[in-house]
Amino acid sequence: MGLTDYLVVGLFVFIAIIILVPVLLFIYLYIKDDRQKQHSILRNFPVIGKVRYFTEHIGPEMRQYLFNADNEGKPFSRKEYQDVVKAGKYKERLIGFGSLRDFDAEGFYIRNTLFPKLTDEMKVDNAEKIKTRVYKIDGESLFTRKEHNEEKLIDPFYLRDEDAVVLGEKTCRQPFRVKGQVGQSAMSYGALGERAIQALSKGLGLAGGTWMNTGEGGLSDHHLAGNPDIIMQIGPDLFGVRKPSGEFSWEEFKRKSELPQIKAFEIKLAQGAKTRGGHVEGAKVTEEIAKIRLVEVGKTINSPNRFYEFGDVPSMFDFIEQLRTVGGKPVGIKIVVGDLDALENMVSYMKESGKGPDFITVDGGEGGTGATYQELADSVGLPIQSALPIVDEMLKHYEVRDRVKLIASGKLITPDKIAIALAMGADLVNIARGLMISVGCIMAQVCHTNTCPAGVATTDKKLQDGLVVDEKYYRVCNYIVSLREGLYNLAAAAGIDSPTQFERKHIVHKDELGRISPVEEILHAARRTQMQKEG
């Protein structure tokens, strides 16, 4: 045969293959689907039924990128996600042509004044600049974007020394002074991979005036990578401060308290994402994590949903007193507000006994990042905008508000949401998912599977290769500083010279009919309703 004959035969074989292979695959799938007993759709509609399952599988991604409007999508909209990315990557919050907010919907608004504060009237400490890196866009088309990152000196927007928020000012040998009102919420090493923790640590350390919460998973070397101020969280399983048998270790606690980076301790009673105990899949429990937590390698961890060390308010306060005495540093508690009678019992005992925590972290029921059960995530615990004013009001009613600082958390990822929380009673604000986005999270919502495609919520080494610490930590710094700058912008608009001065009078609530209600009025209505229920 000549060359032409070979080409003809080859072409015939190629055409036969591209026809035959799909036909054979179709027949195989038809027989396989028709004989299986698990899916009725596939049994009745072999092969074609697979289109349904394929579409269902890619549905979340299709909605996120193609079908949801910018203000749609849960737990965060596309707009909210982009707000965080722009602040971290470009240190940019400017928009054009107007807000995308639905002004017909109900929500809180910040009251501006006729005569806002001028820039030189603001009580801000910008004496020491921060050397960071930001991206600049050189050109952009439909399919390409050219950009570069460059070094930049930025203002830190620290609080002045006299306005610094102090935890444990009157109770501790070593109070914690913080010159910024925004920090990282509890995220454990193990739930997040080492690269994400390192990027967060270095970024927060560079930003300064902030803090990093270890989460209940214990303190690792990765938390210390950037030398940030640290709040070490202690959960019911006592990771990092326990004996191998599981009992609390005062020796280990004292050793941790002597570390200069650790500025305070937080007892986790509950978390918005999971009012149950913590959960980590066995696939995430590496040898290193097991060593830090003193647990078994590769074994799924289900922590108890409360401490064995105490079971009521008096014994919890005694435990707090002992922690404070041994460690010399502030001790707080993290709660999710639900049972108002139990909350009032605790607050009244604070007044009666003179004891209690140095700070209370109020986590809204809309919290995230942790693996939990649907029924708990959707329905247990009040959201932050309901819970926070209740706690603040109760502490004031029992005249103990001056003894305790409030830290709020729950989807507070932009300056306006933070300012509203401060006005509702918070002294400080915690952020988790916003900071996850700043290091690359794309909201794939597979945090509990160890398959995070961005390398953030995974301990898989291959997946973590995509997260470059030396690039991402600048985004963390830029995001935190951008939030602080935004708070000063809002404070100036409200006629106050520092965001520490936000009060309830600076915000109002607008309902769907356009009616405006001060926060005080909403609280009074809620209190009247509660009293009517009590008879």
Distances (CA, A) of 506 to 61, 404, 493, 512, 519: 39, 22, 10, 20, 9
3-state SS string over 277-335?
CCEECHHHCCHHHHHHHCCCCCCCEECCCCCCCCCCHHHHHHHHHHHHHHHCCCEEEEE
Domains of the chain (ranges, CATH numbers): 3-67 (no CATH), 124-502 (3.20.20.70)
Tally the residues of the chain.
Answer: 535
pLDDT at res. 273: 59
Of 179-188, 453-462, 508-517, the range with the highest mean pLDDT is 179-188
The answer to whether the CB of 182 falls within 8 A of the CB of 204 is no
Query: What does the pLDDT read at residue 209?
Result: 97
User: Contact 339/347 with Cβ under 8 angstroms?
Assistant: no
Contact present, 352 and 198 (Cβ < 8 Å): no
**Given pLDDT bands bounded at 50, 70 and 90, which one contains residue 411?**
very high
Instruction: Give the percent of the chain with pLDDT over 70.
Output: 92
| pLDDT tens per residue, range 433-473 | 999 999 999 888 888 788 898 999 988 899 999 999 999 99
Average pLDDT over residues 35-53: 74
pLDDT at 400 over 80: yes
**262-268 and 230-234 strand pairing:** parallel
Looking at residue 493, what is its pLDDT?
A: 97
More confidently predicted of 478 and 376: 478
C-alpha angle with apex 477: 474 to 478, nearest 5 degrees? 85
What pLDDT does residue 9 have?
Answer: 67
Would the pLDDT of 379 be above 80?
A: no
The residue ranking higher by pLDDT, 37 or 85, is 85
Q: Give the lowest-confidence range in 89-98, 266-275, 328-337.
A: 266-275
Range in 69-83, 187-201, 219-233 with the lowest mean pLDDT: 69-83
Taking residues 336-364, what's their average pLDDT? 95
pLDDT at 342: 93
Contact call for residues 493 and 218 (beta carbons, < 8 A): no
Q: What angle do CA 295, 301, 304 make, to 5 degrees?
A: 105
Query: Among 177-186, 294-303, 504-513, where is mean pLDDT lowest?
Result: 294-303
pLDDT tier, 404 (very low <50, low <70, confident <90, very high otherwise) = very high
Average pLDDT estimate for 111-118? 96
From CA 294, how far away is CA 505, in angstroms rounded?
A: 49
394, 299, 292: which is closest to 347 by C-alpha? 394
More confident residue, 236 or 46: 236
Mean pLDDT across the chain: 88
pLDDT for 500: 98
Among the listed residues 166, 203, 198, 196, the one whose alpha carbon sits nearest the alpha carbon of residue 181: 166
pLDDT: which is higher, 344 or 3: 344
DSSP state of 11: H
Rounded to 5 degrees, φ, ψ at 308 are -80, -20
Average confidence (pLDDT) over 521-533: 60
| Cβ count within 10 A of residue 179 | 18
> In the prediction, which pLDDT does 246 show?
81
Q: Give one word for 47, left, alpha or beta, with left for phi > 0 and alpha for psi -120 to 50.
A: left
Highest mean pLDDT, choosing among 112-121, 268-277, 283-292: 112-121
pLDDT tier at 74, thresholds 50, 70, 90: confident
* Between residues 263 and 247, the one the model is more confident about: 263
Task: Please give the model's pTM, rounded to 2 decimal places.
Answer: 0.89
What is the Cα 158 distance to its own chain's centre? 22
Reduce the DSSP state of residue 145 to 3 states and report it. strand
pLDDT of 278 reads 63
Question: Where does the pLDDT of residue 360 fall: very low under 50, low under 70, confident under 90, or very high at 90 and above?
Answer: very high
- Give the per-residue pLDDT at 221: 94
Interatomic CA distance for residues 431 and 409, integer angstroms: 6
Q: Which helix (H) or strand (E) holds 256?
A: helix 250-257
Residue 526 has pLDDT above 70, yes or no: no
CB count within 10 Å of CB 55 equals 10
Provide mean pLDDT across the span 82-109: 91
335 versus 142: the higher-pLDDT residue is: 335
Query: Contacts by 517-520 with C-beta closer than 8 Å and gap 24+?
Result: 519/389, 519/423, 519/424
- Both structure tokens of 149: 């990152």
Res. 196 pLDDT band, cuts 50 70 90? very high
pLDDT at 47: 72
CB 406 within 8 A of CB 391: yes
Residue 208 confidence class, pLDDT cut points 50, 70, 90:
very high
Phi-psi label, residue 455: left if phi above 0, alpha if psi -120 to 50, beta otherwise: left
**293 band by pLDDT with thresholds 50, 70 and 90:** confident
Task: Give the type of residue at 242.
Answer: R
8 A C-beta contact, residue 230 and residue 214: yes
Mean pLDDT of 31-53: 73
| Residue 373, helix vs strand vs coil | coil
According to the model, what pLDDT value does residue 372 have? 67
CA dist list (Å): 417 to 20, 53, 217, 327, 517: 59, 38, 28, 34, 18
The predicted pLDDT at position 24 comes to 77
What percentage of the chain has pLDDT greater than the value 90?
58
